Chains A and B, each alone.
Chain A
Amino acid sequence: MLSPVLCSDLAALEPEYTEADVISTVEFNQSGEFLATGDRGGRVVIFQREPQGEYNVYSTFQSHEPEFDYLKSLEIEEKINKIRWLPLHNPAHFLLATNDKTIKLWKVSERDKRAEGYNLRDEEGRLKDLSTVTTLQVPVLRPMDLLVEASPRRVFANAHAYHINSISVNSDCETYLSADDLRINLWHLNITDRSFNIVDLKPENMEDLSEVITVAEFHPHHCHLLAFSSSTGTTRLCDMRARALCDQHAKLFEEAVDPSRRSFFSEIVSSVSDVKFSHSGRYLLTRDYLTVKVWDINMENKPVETYQVHDYLRTKLCSLYESDCIFDKFECAWNGTDSVIMTGAYNNYFRMFDRASLRDVTLEASREVCKRRAVLQPRRVCVGKKRKETDVSVDSLDFRKKILHTAWHPEENIIAIAASNNLYIFQDRLTPNGHHNTPEIQSAPPKWQTQANPPTY
């Protein structure tokens, strides 16, 4: 696994940044040729992979603006909560981006021709002398410099009373879901004025509220299956064939908690912050505060694999609660062959777990250590006394530097890591161009490397 090479480091070069620059979502498209990020300022940036393998900025546009809901006297932030790419339609690319309330479908397309030849004006726009106009001229298209345009195609609004946390495109390629804290709606991509409510957890009386939806995702191949997780640590699988309203789940994935280990924080740390179906569709990956778990969708009572992300924090939950860090929503990701899992942690660290060899590694994505073509060194966090010079003590971890959003290229060993306003793209150095081995954990030293000539963000 992981010989990470920094191939694109798309960060703002100055260390100063504003809240609006903080990246809030990262997503590769189906082919991996494009990568989209959304930030708290409502911007979407799309990167395209160059033939040499580096990712460069392809298009930047403002997807959402801050709004005000006059009926409820609520500010609606412009922050992009999620981006999802649509399967390829035609040479243009389409993606859905959502903030708390409104989902937008964007088209990103190229234009390389321009019409020339006016009848009544010259090319600079000056009116011609009408007496010189004796014949009609039909405009002709001529090549011009490539222009990338982003245009909003649809706006799906007014369907969510609470904050949208997820969107997911169905494998039928004509519908998608959007989930907020209590409800999941189903949309048709061509229809903006109505959606169907397929899950509704809202109790008659809001005082009876015991859980909220944290994430929802469609199965990658079966159009009728969707999974959603809740703040109580459960993940439910629903079959849309059975009923129009999927309040009753088909399966409930939940691990029994040892009552003796139950504490004030048990429920908070068990809240599921991300769910991802494996590419095969067989497994579900869930992330809670301290662990990532792999579930076989055929077995509901316990996960088939559990990986500790940062178990050393177990003793620090009280202070993490006080600083609200305990509510951080870390995402998780599968690699292209479902053999490796990646998720983020604190101190700009991110973790990878090889499912076959059970090896794991902690790496750091930060400006100080990520040099072009340099190999990333693994990090070790120790509790108590340092055993090695390079070890990092738990007490010195910086909890303000967190890696919440990560994405793995759908086929190759290329990963994208968002650390506040910085986006790091690493690739496996051993990987020859265009070809990829099944990733496995390399014996030390791991060799993720940086790439020369960083493009500017």
Chain B
Amino acid sequence: MAGAEGDDSLYPIAVLIDELRNEDVQLRLNSIKKLSTIALALGVERTRTELLPFLTDTIYDEDEVLLALAEQLGSFTVLVGGPEFVHNLLPPLESLATVEETVVRDKAVESLRKISQEHSPVDLEVHFVPLVKRLASGDWFTSRTSACGLFSVCYPRVSSSVKADIRQHFRTLCSDDTPMVRRAAASKLGEFAKVLELDYVKSDIIPLFTALASDEQDSVRLLAVEAGVSIATLLPQEDLEALVMATLRQAAEDKSWRVRYMVADKFSELQKAVGPEITKTDLVPAFQNLLKDCEAEVRAAAANKVKVFCENLPEDSRETIIMTHILPCVKELVSDTNQHVKSALASVIMSLSTILGKDNTVEHLLPLFLVQLKDECPEVRLNIISNLDCVNEVIGIRQLSQSLLPAIVELAEDAKWRVRLAIIEYMPLLAGQLGVEFFDEKLNSLCMAWLIDHVFAIREAATCNLMKLVEKFGAVWAQNTIVPKVLGMANDSNYLHRMTTLFCINALSEVCGQEITTKHMLPVVLKMSTDQVANVRFNVARSLQKIGPVLDSSALQAEVKPVLEKLATDQDMDVKYFALEAISVLALA
């Protein structure tokens, strides 16, 4: 097809091909991303015989170019002539699967997995499986690690003799000399087990799992944990104890904290995989140990799982197990020495109340919430406050409000602005939970104080907060409580505070509606157009542009237009610019 139509159609493609090896990486990258255009122009025949051989040897390039190439080749089947010719894509992907850069290799493997589905069963055995075997017995660990991810996609679709061969290759990789390959094998073990026949899971996978789970390298053992979870889901209940539980118990007590951390991190998956009986006999004591682990990282990971673990306990014995086994550990964690552990716990502890019901919550959990609300670490307090809704549903928030208020006030005045910012974000939630009266009485003044915070991010968040509060409590409430205070700031001597008034108006005009905006806000904005600070004046122009759509046309013509026109002749360049912008956006010219 190329050439026939003459130079016009040829030229752009010729440029693309030449730029495949331009010195500028960005141009090469662009060209690679349009590889399908090049292939289309060359036609399937030349793509197979010329383009792909060239790409196979182009592994010297920058990672980003190779990554793009690996991705492109995954959807190239049509361009080489359809499934019948898909094996032509294997050589370039094979060479990409051996480069040293992990992301490129992973992408090449992903594309290989994708095109494996487009191979016919015969092609799979003739072309794809030999490639997997070549990679699996390659000299360099990079090719062997890539091979690990390819076994599971070809196994289900090949004959039983090839299957045996594949299993043998996988076994070899599991005992590779280099930890990198063993890690890759361990991370793909679960996936491979899923496509194996159950008998082979028992005879092949279990010994491999046991071996990897007692590898000398911590980094291999910790990956075996995840594989163990996948394998456990595949096995019938009666085989679990004999085949995997001993190894999993050993992992939960591993000498290396990183392995125990992994167990804690995968605990809810593990719980689902082994079922309720083993959960009761084995996982409960294991979980208790993880919650009491000597390494804070492990305790924090386990603390994060408290809620999910408790939720998934078998219903008949859930409450007893929590009250007698889990809660005592949780109580200790409340006064843990490490703040990450405490804050992990604080993010889930509130949801225990839904599981335990009103009486237990009041008697056992409430004291813990109160302790955490007084914690020295702001993150712990924030996590408690951010989850108030769980408790509200069970016991109502009144029980907590006496302790809540001092905690909120303290966070609101924290020296770190990021802490103040975080509590502001919870204000609308709190307002919803506590109701308008409590809010007006206790929290309104805090919200107003944030408007004059010395950090801009806080002032900005405070204006946004006001808008959300008005959405919750309505325009009438806004008019009575916050609008007067906000407008009052327009006369402040500090120009930053005067600007805050404008920012608040920007945020509030829409939720407050036309009447309040026209009657109360607009006069203030217009009055500020004569401010002596240029920053205030151009923000007046921006505010007018923002609130314009809320106003009716008579107000726009009669009041806004003259002011903007005057600002458009201001001596300050920025004021002029924004005034003219407002005039054109509001179509007042």
Contact = CB atoms under 8 A, between A and B. Distances in A.
Chains A and B belong together in one complex: yes
A358 to B, nearest CB: 34
B84 to A, nearest CB: 22
B241 interface: no
A90 B57 CA distance: 15
Nearest to B259: A241
Nearest to B6: A134
Contacts of B102: 190
B360 to A, nearest CB: 34
A172 B179 contact: yes
A136 B2 contact: yes
B178 A113 contact: no
Contact of B100 (A90, A118, A240, A244): A90
A242 B21 CA distance: 51
Interface residues of B, number: 47
29 contacts: A91-B140, A109-B60, A115-B54, A118-B18, A119-B14, A119-B18, A134-B7, A135-B3, A138-B42, A138-B46, A139-B17, A140-B54, A153-B101, A171-B179, A172-B217, A172-B219, A173-B179, A173-B180, A174-B183, A190-B102, A221-B216, A223-B216, A223-B218, A223-B219, A240-B218, A241-B258, A242-B295, A243-B294, A244-B257
B18 A121 contact: yes
Contacts of B141: 89
Contacts of A153: 101
A224 interface: yes
Most B CB within 10 A of own CB, among A135, A138, A242, A244: A138
- List 8 A-B pairs, minimum CB-CB distance, nearest first: A119-B14, A241-B256, A138-B50, A90-B140, A89-B100, A135-B3, A172-B219, A141-B57
Interface string A75-100: 00000000000011111101000000
B295 A130 contact: no
A252 interface: no
Interface of A: 87-92, 94, 107, 109, 111, 113, 115, 118-121, 130-131, 133-141, 153, 171-174, 190, 221-224, 240-244
Nearest to B297: A244
A148 to B, nearest CB: 12
A118 B18 CA distance: 6
Contacts of B11: 130, 133
Contacts of B3: 134-136
Given A135-B2, A138-B17, A90 B142 contact: yes
Interface of B: 2-3, 7, 10-11, 13-15, 17-18, 20-21, 41-42, 46, 50-51, 54, 57-58, 60, 98-102, 140-143, 178-180, 183, 216-219, 254-258, 294-297
B180 A133 contact: no
Given A90-B98, A173-B179, A223-B217, 19 more contacts: A89-B100, A107-B100, A113-B57, A130-B7, A134-B7, A135-B3, A136-B2, A136-B3, A136-B10, A138-B46, A139-B54, A141-B54, A172-B217, A173-B178, A190-B102, A241-B254, A242-B257, A243-B295, A244-B296
A194 B102 CA distance: 18
Contacts of B256: 224, 240-241
Given A89-B142, A244-B257, A137 B60 contact: no
Nearest to A135: B3
Nearest to A107: B100
B440 to A, nearest CB: 45
A136 B42 contact: yes
Contacts of A224: 218, 256
A450 B587 CA distance: 90
A336 B256 CA distance: 31
A166 B172 CA distance: 36
Contacts of B217: 171-172, 223
A4 to B, nearest CB: 34
A94 B140 CA distance: 14
A243 B20 contact: no
Contacts of B143: 90
Contact of B7 (A118, A131, A221, A241): A131
Contacts of A133: 7, 10-11, 14
Nearest to A86: B100
Contacts of A136: 2-3, 10, 13-14, 17, 41-42, 46
Nearest to A114: B21
A243 B17 CA distance: 55
Nearest to B178: A173
Contacts of A111: 60
Contacts of B183: 174
A120 B140 CA distance: 39
Contacts of B179: 171-174, 223
Contacts of B50: 138, 140
A210 to B, nearest CB: 25
A118 B258 CA distance: 54
A115 B15 CA distance: 16
Q: Which of A89, A92, A130 has the most CB of B within 10 A?
A: A89
A141 B54 CA distance: 7
A244 B257 CA distance: 7
B17 A137 contact: yes
B178 A87 contact: yes
B257 A241 contact: yes
B134 to A, nearest CB: 14
B21 A139 contact: yes
A172 B258 CA distance: 14
A174 B14 contact: no
B236 to A, nearest CB: 34
B381 to A, nearest CB: 25
Contacts of B216: 221-223
Contacts of A135: 2-3, 10
A119 B3 CA distance: 12
Contacts of A89: 100, 140-142
Nearest to A134: B3
A177 to B, nearest CB: 15
**Most chain A CB atoms below 10 A, which of B42, B98, B254, B257:** B257
Contacts of B99: 90
B140 A88 contact: yes
Of residues B46, B100, B180, which shows the largest number of chain A Cβ atoms within 10 Å of its Cβ?
A: B100
A120 B7 contact: no
Contacts of A120: 14-15, 18
Nearest to B7: A130
A218 to B, nearest CB: 13
Nearest to A242: B257
A135 B297 CA distance: 64
Nearest to B13: A136
A90 B100 CA distance: 7
B100 A115 contact: no
A133 B15 CA distance: 12
Contacts of A173: 178-180
A241 B218 contact: yes
A136 B4 CA distance: 11
Contacts of B13: 136
A133 B50 CA distance: 18
Nearest to A147: B60
A138 B51 contact: yes
A30 to B, nearest CB: 12
Contacts of B296: 244
A242 to B, nearest CB: 7
B76 to A, nearest CB: 15
Contacts of A140: 50, 54
A259 to B, nearest CB: 38
Given A90-B140, A223-B217, A134 B54 contact: no
